[in-house]
Amino acid sequence: MNPHMIVRSRTDSEVELFYRHYDVTRVTEKYLCVVVKVLADNLFIITAYFTDTTKRGEVLWVRK
């Protein structure tokens, strides 16, 4: 996916939100958010969706 930013969820410390910005989609510019649950050394994709904004939370990583 090559995310632009990774944010820890404010409601579940085991959930991380991987965001990638797209300038062009069928509607307008959007972020693709992939919600991932981290358990031990395993990652599980919970869901993915397009959104206008990123959620607040602890920013774990930002692409430079």
- pTM given for the model: 0.92
Question: Residue 27: its pLDDT value, please?
Answer: 87
CA distance linking residue 49 with residue 41, whole number of Å: 24
Using one digit for the tens of pLDDT, what is the confidence trace for 39-56?
998 999 999 999 999 999
Using one digit for the tens of pLDDT, what is the confidence trace for 18-45?
999 999 988 899 999 999 999 998 999 9
Domain boundaries, the chain: 5-62
12-50 per-residue burial string, b: 16 or more CB within 10 A, e: under 16:
eeebbbbbeeeeeeeeeebbbbbbbeeeeeeeeeeeeee
CA distance linking residue 40 with residue 49, whole number of Å: 25
